[in-house]
Amino acid sequence: MGGIQAEGRAGTGADSSWERLTRSTWARLRGIVREFSKFGVVGLISLVVDVGLFNLLMFAGGGLLADKPLTAKALAVIAATTVSYSLNRNWTFSHRGGHDSRWREYLLFFALNGVAMLITLAVLWFSHYALGLDSPLADNISANVIGLGLGTVFRFWSYRRFVFPADDEAEVDHNALV
């Protein structure tokens, strides 16, 4: 019986530590899920800006840049990246730290977008050329499902880690509010 009581007391202390750890882990996970959800909404808005502006420049009213699709796409991507940066800075990661220079932060954001694009292109290259899966369906799955998915995970991680690094106090406060 003494062993049961001792076990009960030891269990109580462990439960208390375990409960704190569990609460802390769940609060942190809820914060990450909340950020990732906002990140997804920002991504969809940026996609609409990218595709919409590209089509406006190419086709609306005779197409201002109808004969320059690369220029139209470059302008659309720059606009979408700027919208994405602004929404991520001011909404998705607003509770996190950042850099003193917004220009430096934007350039880092833009560069990490480039790395994510290279991830997508690498997946497409591997599927199309190395594996010989060159049908339109295979290209779309490799580029727009697998590549885009890996690129999105990379963007989320890299933005949190390098562009909008956590200010320890802000991160604790944010997780306490969630």
Tens of pLDDT along 130-163?
999 988 888 888 888 898 899 899 999 999 999 9
Amino acid at 177: L
Q: What pLDDT, on a 0 to 100 scale, did the predictor assign at position 84?
A: 93
Give the count of domains, the chain: 1
CA dihedral 90, 93, 94, 96 (to 10 degrees): -150
Q: What is the mean pLDDT of residues 41-50?
A: 93
The residues near 76 (Cβ < 8 Å, ≥ 6 apart) are 49, 50, 51, 52, 53, 54, 57
Q: What is the mean pLDDT of residues 63-80?
A: 87
Q: What pLDDT, on a 0 to 100 scale, did the predictor assign at position 15?
A: 63
Amino acid at 135: S
Q: What pLDDT, on a 0 to 100 scale, did the predictor assign at position 145?
A: 87
Q: How confident is the model at residue 49 (pLDDT cuts 50, 70, 90)?
A: very high
Q: What is the mean pLDDT of residues 61-68?
A: 84
Please report which helix (H) or strand (E) contains residue 78, including its range. Answer: helix 69-87
Q: At 117, list the tokens.
A: 């694009």
Write out pLDDT tens, residues 83-108.
999 999 999 888 887 777 888 899 99
Q: What pLDDT, on a 0 to 100 scale, did the predictor assign at position 13?
A: 54
The residues near 147 (Cβ < 8 Å, ≥ 6 apart) are 119, 120, 121, 122, 123, 124
Range of the domain at 125: 2-177
Write out pLDDT tens, residues 13-44.
556 888 877 777 887 788 789 998 998 999 99
